[in-house]
Amino acid sequence: MAASTLKLVFFLLFSFFTFSPTTSSHHPLDPLTPSEFKLVRTLVKKSYPSPKHNLTFQYISLDEPDKPALHSWLSKPKSKPPPRRAFVITRLNRQSHELVVDLSNRYIVSDKVYNGNDGYPLLTLDEQTVASELPFSYKPFIDSVKKRRLNLSEVVCTTFSVGWFGEEHSERVIKILCFYIEGSANLYMRPLEGVSLLVDLDELKIVEYYDRARLPVPKAEGTEYRLSKQKPAFGPRLNRFAIDQPDGPGFKINGHKISWANWEFHVGFDVRAGPIISLASIYDLEKGTYRQVLYRGFVSELFVPYMDPTEEWYYKTFFDAGEFGFGQSAVPLEPLADCPANAAFIDAYFAGEDGTPVKISNAICIFEQHSGSVLWRHTEIAIPGEVITEVRPEVSLIVRMVTTIGNYDYILDWEFKPSGSIKIGVGLTGILEVKAADYTHTSQIKEEAYGTLLAKNTIGVYHDHFLTYYLDLDVDGEANSFVKNNLVTKRVTDKSSLRKSYWTVESETAKTESDAKIQLGLKPSELVVVNPNKKTKPGNNIGYRLIPGSISNPLLSSDDFPQIRGAFTNYNVWVTPYNKSEKWAGGQYIDRSHGDDTLATWTLRNRGIENKDIVLWYTMGFHHVPCQEDFPIMPTLSGGFELRPTNFFESNPVLKTKPPNHVNSTSKP
């Protein structure tokens, strides 16, 4: 009884911390509110009173204030904030329009037609929903389903972006593929292979139809993942547990501002990028002040090319953030499962195609994680007559969002550690994209299959996931440099030592963008963003270093069309001078893009990056060779990287951290 009462108190405490958008005042970086979306809609619609075609809103998000304006507000938070502005992309009469809308003064600042050849804006959920329903009133499709002796009411269809393969002009179209749900919710394991439709997205009409292969739809058996549909035996068995924080959470949420332990930062949300971390600063106990670390960080793009070049599959080269929207595809988090019992939740909003706000409840969760890891420790036995053991358990703060892009689920974590580290984590889970085949055993496979036979008639196709992060580090100030501390082997040649070799550090400051294009894993190097204008007491450069994880480089040839569009993955690390309009590594308009507006093309200008406001771009990658454990649903595959202070503090910033007191369990054995 005691336990459940405690838990109730606990939940009440947390619901108190749930952000309520109507009551808090704006921070200039707060995402647009429902009433601001409505205002954008009203102002934009008013400026197009009688369009021939319906105006659609493809993208509405905060047009963040210029950096100097924000900094001057931050230094005087009581002063008037910079004007709230929205950046809007609409489709009207088969053209993309870019608008800037001033919400404070209620007018349209600018409206221009995008005339470039470089693709189309984010796809809306609404147009994809309509497109997915078109096959069900299309006679040839209904006939194809009948010919396969399938039940039409057990067929569902979804949308797949079609890429670009060298054509001069690309229409705004999308592929529709269909799946069978009779006997299992796991539709992705049961494609109607060979059937596909092409839909014009501006007209929402079927423009092409194919029924090319007659392959078996894989069986439902073994594909279910719902617990309610499983049959014994169950296992492995896991014991129950509880999280008790009798003093409440250690963090505070004020609007979208979070403060916890020695950190403070802002959590925003964008329909394309998902969560945006801004203004992350860490308190320096010795200096008695907060110091800047990260001005802005978010997922800029996710490139997922599949490796089957045949007619039905070659086009599957997705850019999930810019085509489908990480924020738009965010899902409500399940309390006690996606996030632990001590999590607080923040709702998010984006605009639907007609401009009206859509709410995602519990889109982001924030919680303290007691991982069982050790923050630091030492046991000293060399002092005669005594043994000293000092251990500090690690506690960190996690900001989490989950986005589900069709079959795949991505768990995006930002972890803040009292030691000053920011760990960025990504978990890949969900369901593979498979193709149906005649094979039931690998011994039958004589030709190239482009994947792994996971079950009867089911091939998990090889593919990659490349996540590119935008990291505008402002290490102790805006003017930073990028330094490669190369570890180089030295020979001892003068007989001064019995050793023949050692390694040392040779530092190289990147002067221009080309000095900072790095393929990791080729030579040992520490990559550091430093503030060249500040030094520690002993004279070292104040910095934050990038500790890479899960490195994968592209394996497609660089002249292949998907790789031209995804050229921002050609290097794991790039550094550019800050430019407000360079946010999306694959370009503003990546659906059907031709690769003219990417990190790879911007950096051809080879701009100076020394002692400037710079942006670090990091790509983590996974080459995914599907295996049977990924069937019928994939256990989370994790990757990540770390930003870690290096000579940022004068000494260990968690030396004087007291370990949290233990709370005795209240549950009965």
Ligand X SMILES: *[C@@H]1O[C@H](CO)[C@@H](O)[C@H](O)[C@H]1NC(C)=O
Q: Which residues contact 666 (CB under 8 A, 6 or more apart)?
A: 2, 3, 6, 242, 244
From the list ligand X, Cu ion, none, which binds 373 (C-beta under 5 to 8 Å, kind-based)? none
Q: How far apart are alpha carbons 141 and 431 in whole angstroms?
A: 26
Shorter beta-carbon distance to Cu ion: residue 423 or 624: 624
Shorter beta-carbon distance to Cu ion: residue 574 or 622: 622
Helix (H, G, I), strand (E, B) or coil at 604: helix
| Closest CB 164 distance from ligand X, rounded Å | 20
Q: What's the DSSP call for residue 65?
A: P
Beta bridge partners of 398: 367, 415
From the list ligand X, Cu ion, none, which binds 289 (C-beta under 5 to 8 Å, kind-based)? none
Cα-based angle 254, 255, 256 (whole degrees, multiple of 5): 100
User: Which residue of 379, 496, 664, 669 would you call a contact of ligand X, by CB under 6 A?
Assistant: 664
Give the DSSP H or E segment for 561: helix 561-565
State the number of binding residues for ligand X (CB under 6 A): 10
Stretch that binds ligand X, among 108-116, 150-158, 244-252, 269-277 (CB under 6 A): 150-158
- Identify the CA nearest to 202 among candidates 123, 107, 106: 123
Cα 320 off chain centre by: 9
Q: How far apart are alpha carbons 361 and 347 in whole angstroms?
A: 5
Position 651 contacts ligand X (CB under 6 A): no
Helix (H, G, I), strand (E, B) or coil at 125: helix
Stretch that binds ligand X, among 64-72, 146-154, 271-279, 355-363 (CB under 6 A): 146-154
Q: Distance of CA 419 to CAs 282, 422, 591, 644, 654, Å?
A: 10, 9, 40, 8, 6
Q: Which residue is catalytic, options 295, 306, 408, 589?
A: 408
Match 């050692």 to its residue by tokens: 502
For the question of residue 320 being annotated catalytic, the response is yes
Q: Which residue is catalytic, options 63, 118, 308, 320?
A: 320
From the list Cu ion, ligand X, none, which binds 444 (C-beta under 5 to 8 Å, kind-based)? none
| Closest CB 595 distance from ligand X, rounded Å | 14
Interface positions, 26-55, toward ligand X (CB under 6 A): 53-54
From the list Cu ion, ligand X, none, which binds 308 (C-beta under 5 to 8 Å, kind-based)? none
| Closest CB 432 distance from Cu ion, rounded Å | 7
| Closest CB 233 distance from Cu ion, rounded Å | 29
Please give the full DSSP string across 137-195, using - where no structure is assigned.
G-HHHHHHHHHTT--GGGEEEEEE-----S-SS--SEEEEEEEE-TT-S-GGGSB-TTE
**Quick one: tokens of 491?**
């020979």
| Closest CB 517 distance from Cu ion, rounded Å | 26
Position 581 contacts ligand X (CB under 6 A): yes
Q: How far apart are alpha carbons 177 and 200 in whole angstroms?
A: 15
Shorter beta-carbon distance to ligand X: residue 127 or 264: 127
From the list Cu ion, ligand X, none, which binds 151 (C-beta under 5 to 8 Å, kind-based)? ligand X
Shorter beta-carbon distance to ligand X: residue 379 or 581: 581
Does residue 580 contact residue 479 with C-beta atoms inside 8 Å?
Answer: no
Cα 284 off chain centre by: 29
Shorter beta-carbon distance to ligand X: residue 42 or 507: 42
The pattern of x and - marking residues 536 through 575 that bind ligand X according to CB under 6 A reads: ----------------------------------------
Shorter beta-carbon distance to ligand X: residue 56 or 657: 56
How many CA atoms does the CB half-sphere of 325 hold within 13 Å?
24
Position 349 contacts ligand X (CB under 6 A): no
Q: Which residues contact 139 (CB under 8 A, 6 or more apart)?
A: none
Residue 96: count other Cβ atoms within 10 Å of its Cβ. Answer: 21
Residues of this chain that interact with Cu ion (CB under 5 A) are: 624
Residue nearest Cu ion by beta-carbon distance: 624
Does residue 582 contact residue 485 with C-beta atoms inside 8 Å?
Answer: no
From the list Cu ion, ligand X, none, which binds 154 (C-beta under 5 to 8 Å, kind-based)? ligand X
Shorter beta-carbon distance to Cu ion: residue 260 or 306: 306
Q: How far apart are alpha carbons 31 and 351 in whole angstroms?
A: 12
**Quick one: tokens of 119?**
């693709």
From the list ligand X, Cu ion, none, which binds 15 (C-beta under 5 to 8 Å, kind-based)? none
Position 667 contacts ligand X (CB under 6 A): no
| Closest CB 665 distance from ligand X, rounded Å | 9
User: Which residue of 602, 617, 622, 641 would you call a contact of ligand X, by CB under 6 A?
Assistant: 602
From the list ligand X, Cu ion, none, which binds 371 (C-beta under 5 to 8 Å, kind-based)? none
Q: Give me Rg for the CA atoms of the chain.
A: 27
| Closest CB 202 distance from ligand X, rounded Å | 9
Stretch that binds ligand X, among 151-159, 230-238, 543-551, 556-564 (CB under 6 A): 151-159
Match 């790879």 to its residue by tokens: 600
**Quick one: tokens of 7?**
């838990």
From the list Cu ion, ligand X, none, which binds 624 (C-beta under 5 to 8 Å, kind-based)? Cu ion
Position 151 contacts ligand X (CB under 6 A): yes
Shorter beta-carbon distance to Cu ion: residue 349 or 410: 410
Does residue 276 contact residue 268 with C-beta atoms inside 8 Å?
Answer: yes
| Closest CB 660 distance from ligand X, rounded Å | 12
Give the DSSP H or E segment for 349: strand 344-351
Shorter beta-carbon distance to Cu ion: residue 260 or 462: 462
User: Which residue of 93, 230, 356, 579 would you call a contact of ligand X, by CB under 6 A?
Assistant: 579
Shorter beta-carbon distance to Cu ion: residue 148 or 624: 624
Cα 616 off chain centre by: 16
Does residue 158 contact residue 177 with C-beta atoms inside 8 Å?
Answer: yes
Helix (H, G, I), strand (E, B) or coil at 569: helix
Binding site for ligand X (CB under 6 A): 53-54, 151, 153-154, 579, 581-582, 602, 664
By annotation, the residues acting in catalysis are: 320, 408
